[in-house]
Structure 1
Amino acid sequence: MERRNFLRVAVVGTAAAAFGGANWQVAFAAGAQPGPSPYGPLQPVNSSGLMLPANFTSRVIARTGQKVAGTGYTWHPAPDGGACFADGTGWIYVSNSEVSSTGGVGAVKFNAQGTITGAYRTLSNTNVNCAGGATPWQTWLSCEEVDRGYVYETDPWGVKAAIRRPAMGRFKHEACAADPVRKVVYLTEDVPDGCLYRFKPTTWGDLSAGTLEVMTGGTGTSGSVGWARVPDPDGSPTATRNQVSNAKRFNGGEGCYYADGTCWFTTKGDGRVWAYNATNSTISLTYDDSEVTGTPPLTGVDNVTRSSGGDLFVAEDGGNMEICIITRDGVVAPFLRIPNQSSSEITGPAFSPDGSRLYFSSQRGTSGSTSGGITYEVSGPFRR
């Protein structure tokens, strides 16, 4: 066995433990590889312009520059990272706007039947709001993907004013994910020599003060890692990623999602999905497109979310414009495809609180420009 393949087997074995359960351990013994989707093959393009498995339906809920149906809110340009929040018997989907100077966050509100009942802004006039993450106390963290960018804490209901959180570090933010067990927030950094961070608030639930740490641990793709305090979270004159000598590097950090003791995060520069096991402080690879047998079904890895049934859903920036599933059984397969939008990227995948609907956007739609964004909803028999 070649050394790289041997390392791959060792890595995915560790990833199996990170996911938990016997299925993951068996499936990853040979690595997450292409296979048939549990939902079956994609069907022809539907009326929404999507290719979906049988028994799934979709609708367009918003288009950039147009008012959201039944509301006075004009949907923002370049919709990006998003999340859903329970709202009584309904829910709210929030969405970033990844444009310079006039970015921010918009929201769409739904009732129990999925009817849109409102849409509004929750953050305005910030800079290249890319991804972010939800908190356990029901706020949305919107991250600026610019040098020395900020994290903004926003209210999905649009009642409370958004608050800038400089203690969480100033760097080229991408996404974040809250870990309520260890009371930290993980953060990715979208540069080729970026890092993975975690922020430890002084008081859990209050992000105004705390300690920013960076992952340490050499160049390997598996094994034990550590954390070290970033001396100057402000990142000037020395960038946060360059303040700790043994900071671990990741090639273009993108999506980030925490569940059940694991923080999954993606790196687009090398086509990988990583798993950080927070219980034993180890990392491993869940997916590596260079280690796939045959043609990789998942490339341009970007935003990531997880269904209530434990499957990962990974959006592509480029590739075939697909959201791919990495199943509990270690199968990588397309779940949906957006044809004829090759100049766009898929952003903001998030499940409704009951797990029956998936929201996401094509950031630039058919036009290929930030003014062409389209936000979709897919409903159907998701595994739960």
Structure 2
Amino acid sequence: MSHKTLPRTGPLLAGGDGLYGPIGRPGESGLALPQGFAGRVVARSGAKVAGLTWHAAPDGGACFPDGDGWIYVSNSELPLLGGASALRFRAGGDVIDAYRILSGTDLNRAGGATPWHTWLSCELGHRGRVFECDPYGVRAARPRLAMGRFRHEAAACDPERQVVYMTEGEPDGCLYRFRPGDWGDLTEGTLEVLCASGRWRPVPSPAALLRATRHQVEEARHFDGGDDCHYVGGVCYFTTRGDRGLWAYDAGGSTLERLCEGVRAVTAAPSGDLYVARDAGRARIDLVAPDRSVAPFLRLVGHDDVELTGPAFSPRGDRLCFSARRGRTEGLTFEVTGPFRA
């Protein structure tokens, strides 16, 4: 894999038809894709898939290796009943198993994968927690309380600096990073918040019993509703729901840049290409190439007022999974296959 990433500075530019050519006519599922790509629905909220009733309000997701196949994990943004479920795929794409990996938690909106193949499921509720889950369904999920009690949205691991970035779903939320005492063990560590100066400061009381974490450090920088985030190539990309922004925090240079508007979720292919899900009403995923050109990659036609969530690539980079949800009841989980570039 080439792992090309965006240049460190410069605006995002419209890129015409992009790397894969124009988008074609929608298929039976409503997916409109470039030539050579195909898509299908692999799970529907309220319907059985491999014996499991797929959850409502599918949100953040990630893929994990599983022998010749892979696993896709998806959160559920339901109050008190949220949690997360997993789909197990054979190498050819057949779904052979589905199971819960977390239950009885509150508003599990986004999250993030770790390099040691666990899933961090984040609660958006008041004094929300981060749960470390086993995508293979063997070990019970565990709360990681040292990572703070706040309205958690998403998490992204930076193996170079051995920290976990986290967003906060508040109108004046912060960008945090958790520095574990031992990389690979999230039970203990230091919670830090990004400040206006570009420096990180420790949060005095991550448990936030008396004062919210975002108000404990006076010089903390605030964002309008932190949302999804993804780390790749030395940069933590994150979105803000309130002002619909896509941001890039360059971890090496400690610089922050706002890249564009109207982005709901973000992921990266193994090639380093960014794929951004546009906010509600647009129902499309755009591709951001390393030269910073932006072009539509897929559209979802005939599904009004849906929100695209949980985009994630399979370990080999040849399949893209994501969900389309309408409120907290309806949801479809899709898989797209095709000649994604390496």
- Amino acid of the structure 2 residue aligned with 1:24: P
Q: Is 1:59 aligned to residue 31 of structure 2? A: no
How far the C-alpha of 1:342 sits from its partner, in A, is 2.7
Q: Pick the aligned partner of 1:282 from 255, 265, 273.
A: 255
- Superposed CA deviations along residues 330-363 of structure 1, whole A, max 9, x for unmatched, are 1122211112323220000000000000000002
1:370 aligned residue:
328
In structure 2, the gaps of 5 or more residues are: none
Answer whether contact 2:74 2:310 (CA < 8 A) is retained: yes
- Superposed CA deviations along residues 61-93 of structure 1, whole A, max 9, x for unmatched, are 00011111xx21110111110000001111100
| Structure with the higher strand share, 1 or 2 | 2
Q: Pick the aligned partner of 1:168 from 144, 147, 163.
A: 147
Structure 2 residue matching 1:194: 3-state secondary structure: coil
Q: Is 1:196 aligned to residue 154 of structure 2? A: no
Structure 1 residue matching 2:7: 3-state secondary structure: helix
- TM score, norm. by length of structure 2: 0.95
How far the C-alpha of 1:319 sits from its partner, in A, is 3.6
Measured in 2, the distance between the counterparts of 1:268 and 1:249 equals 13
Q: Pick the aligned partner of 2:323 from 349, 361, 364.
A: 361
Structure 2 residue matching 1:373: 3-state secondary structure: strand
Q: Pick the aligned partner of 1:232 from 183, 197, 205.
A: 205
Structure 2 residue matching 1:378: 3-state secondary structure: strand
Q: Is 1:33 aligned to residue 13 of structure 2? A: yes
Answer whether contact 2:107 2:125 (CA < 8 A) is retained: yes
User: After the TM superposition, which parts of structure 1 deviate over 4 Å for at least 4 consecutive aligned residues?
Assistant: none
1:42 aligned residue:
23
How far the C-alpha of 1:371 sits from its partner, in A, is 2.7
Q: Is 1:113 aligned to residue 92 of structure 2? A: yes
- Amino acid of the structure 2 residue aligned with 1:288: C
| Structure with the higher helix share, 1 or 2 | 1
Q: Is 1:99 aligned to residue 78 of structure 2? A: yes
Answer whether contact 2:110 2:122 (CA < 8 A) is retained: yes
Structure 1 residue matching 2:329: 3-state secondary structure: helix
Q: How does 1:63-142 map to 2 (within 5 A)?
A: 63-68=44-49, 71-142=50-121
Q: Is 1:265 aligned to residue 238 of structure 2? A: yes
Q: CA RMSD in A?
A: 1.6
Measured in 1, the distance between the counterparts of 2:4 and 2:85 equals 35
- Superposed CA deviations along residues 21-42 of structure 1, whole A, max 9, x for unmatched, are 7x736xx54x112221212222
Answer whether contact 1:307 1:351 (CA < 8 A) is retained: yes
1:381 aligned residue:
339
Structure 2 residue matching 1:112: 3-state secondary structure: coil
Larger Rg: 1
Measured in 2, the distance between the counterparts of 1:332 and 1:269 equals 22
Answer whether contact 1:318 1:342 (CA < 8 A) is retained: no
Measured in 1, the distance between the counterparts of 2:304 and 2:208 equals 36
Measured in 2, the distance between the counterparts of 1:156 and 1:49 equals 29
Structure 2 residue matching 1:171: 3-state secondary structure: coil
- Amino acid of the structure 2 residue aligned with 1:142: S
- TM score, norm. by length of structure 1: 0.85
- CA gap of 1:20–1:282, structure 2 versus 1, over 3 A, is farther
- Amino acid of the structure 1 residue aligned with 2:223: F
In structure 1, the gaps of 5 or more residues are: 1-18, 219-224, 290-298
Measured in 2, the distance between the counterparts of 1:64 and 1:142 equals 19
